[in-house]
Amino acid sequence: MTKVGRFLVLLLWGLGIAVGMGTGALRVVIAEIQGLGSVVGTVEDVFGDPVPGARVRLADKEAWADEQGRFTINVPLGRQTLMITAPGYQPLELNLHVDRGENKPRISQETGLWPVGFKIDYHLFYQGKGQGEIKDVFGLVGFANGTNEEYFIHSIKVLDPFGDVVIDLLAELDDYRDFAGTYTDSNFALDPQMAAIIYPRTVILRELPSFTADVSSRSYTLQVLYGTEEEHSSGKYWLWEKTIAPVLDEDCDPHVGGNPFLSSKNLSGRPKA
């Protein structure tokens, strides 16, 4: 870059900061001056959740996603390979053709990061409607199998702060069928116990039945009993638990832009007989 070009870059950077222009927008303007293309995106997993701290590499440049999973990289024009890595996730490669201006690859849901193992997703939210702090609470649960073996879901429950069951998503045979999305025996098992089957490289997202609750101070725990085929056959499962409080979400969708898996995402826990 010429001295004049470097001067313009520094001048624009100073002016941009002075008028409150975001650093992302500044990088795009500077890329135009330098004859580069700006790749702007958000790293998300197969559920549509952001992946903070993901390492993004393109050409000879690299960046790290911020807390919302966002990144910006300025690179030469033409065909490039975008490489993304993050702890707990499988590496992702995307082939891009970088043009002038902003280039926005989709890195989310069906093109998002797959977990290394079996991952569970859990969200609770409410709208502003309702009396005082008493609201209708809605929820989503998701399961992503990034392994090469089948996983079996025996139980999915939501408990209130006192340990009472608020939701039992797999209480009856028809519940397993509905969850598996089939009325054949290909996606759920009956013996030795009922269980829904999550096949390799499969994502299942399901809405939770709504319930009324005081959202000012209460948290709710998701409990999932799951295991491999061998563990299921022996009647032993892992217990996965996560406790969260409902958050305000007027769209009733924690995944930006919705999630196509709704119309069809680190193993943790302790063994439980």
- Extents of the domains making up the chain: 1-34, 39-114, 118-272
Give 200-209 pLDDT, tens digit per residue.
999 999 999 9
Q: Which residue has the higher pLDDT, 35 or 227?
A: 227
CATH 3.10.450.50 fits 39-114, yes or no: no
Beta bridge partners of residue 64, listed in sequence order: 55
- Residue 44: other Cβ atoms inside 10 A: 25
CATH number of 118-272: 2.60.40.10
Check residue 182 and give its pLDDT.
63
Check residue 180 and give its pLDDT.
79
User: Helix (H, G, I), strand (E, B), or coil: what is residue 110?
Assistant: helix
Instruction: Name the burial class of residue 71, with classes exposed (0-12), middle (13-18) and buried (19+) by CB atoms within 10 angstroms of its CB.
Output: buried
For residue 254, name the pLDDT band (cuts at 50, 70, 90).
confident
Check: CB of residue 247 under 8 Å from CB of residue 125. yes
Same fold, 39-114 and 118-272: yes
User: Helix (H, G, I), strand (E, B), or coil: what is residue 60?
Assistant: coil
Q: Which amino acid is at 223?
A: Q
Check residue 183 and give its pLDDT.
55
